[in-house]
Amino acid sequence: MIPVNSVLQVGHFPEIMQAEIDRRFTPIHHPDPQAPAPAGNFQAILIRSNTKLPEALVKQIPSIRMVATCGVGYDNLPLDYLKANGIKASNTPGVLNDAVCELAVGMMLALLRHIPKAQEYVKSNAWSKAPFRITTTLAGKRVGIAGMGRIGQDLAERLKPFKVEIAYSGPNKKLLPYTYYREIKDLAKDCDILFLACPATPETNKMVNAAVLEALGTTGYLINIARGSVVDEDALLYALQHKKIAGAALDVFENEPNPNKDFLNLDNVLLTPHIGSATSETRIAMTQLAVDNLEAFFKQQPLPSEVNN
């Protein structure tokens, strides 16, 4: 049981998620994270991973002992401050793997087979004048996954039936039946399709730079389902504009929800509005796990998915 007036809900939650929150407990709403904290003896904060939690806001509420973020990413939290002050944090890993991987595979197929353009070709009656362009098949391709965590491993399992070769990069080699590269540049050089599924950390910031894109090459494709910060967007735009890579599919951007407008003018990109986990089933499951963490905190039990920062 979560005590009344004990949780501050920061930022906006979609209707389907808010309904699940309201079913479980009654939070105090604080829509604008930049606004001064409301009066109250709050012990926990509930927030979405797409909303940045200002350190200044947490400092205004010295009674806060726990922050629950609804999402697998927790780069929105002031982790150093939380750790220094003994404030617990939780996220919602695992429950969104299916939805994110489904979108990743869909984006890959849409990018290689030009599915959005093919639909427009039919709708515009252009098909009656000439056949649609020849596209690229997936079978036989070398697929690289940068970040072989929960999502990366689930993605690899979904890719196996497509008759592809799978490799990965990351800080550590894992007991997996795939080729391992310590450096993403080496992975990019030896793959046709490069997925980004790594967390946003100082180490991964702008990890995909001009050198990595050059290694990916003119026939290579980039698919980002991680975070916009993982890619040097200036370098990516240059590579796309000058055909240094074949194309890119992006669900995440540096400046959301207002990505660089130069992406909108390219014909070799597929763009989606950060919808990796945006299914009703997944958003409900994420919300349930976030609230489960809050309930465990108030019961003084171990958190189901604590962030060990």
- Which residues, in sequence order, are CB contacts of 42 under 8 Å at separation 6+? 5, 6, 7, 8, 28, 61, 63, 64
Tokens representing 184? 């993403």
Secondary structure (3-state) at 308: coil
Contact present, 96 and 69 (Cβ < 8 Å): no
CB 31, CB 51: distance < 8 Å: no
Residue with tokens 């958190």: 303
Active-site position among 30, 48, 227, 283: 227
Tokens for 250? 């992006």
Residue 203, helix vs strand vs coil: coil
- Which position among 256, 281, 283, 295 bears the catalytic label? 256
48 is catalytic: no
Could you confirm whether 256 is annotated as catalytic?
yes
Give me the residue label for tokens 């780069």.
75
| DSSP tag of 6 | -
8 A C-beta contact, residue 2 and residue 24:
yes
Q: Count of CB atoms within 10 A of residue 280's CB? A: 11
Catalytic residue of the set 24, 150, 158, 274: 274
Query: For residues 215 and 188, is the Cβ–Cβ distance under 8 A?
Result: yes
- Residue 140 CA to residue 137 CA, distance in Å, equals 8
Instruction: Describe the strand order of the beta sheet including 44-48 as a list of residue ranges.
Output: 28-30, 7-10, 44-48, 66-70, 88-90
| Inter-residue contact 143 to 190 (CB < 8 Å) | no
Catalytic site residue 227? yes
**Catalytic residue set:** 227, 256, 274
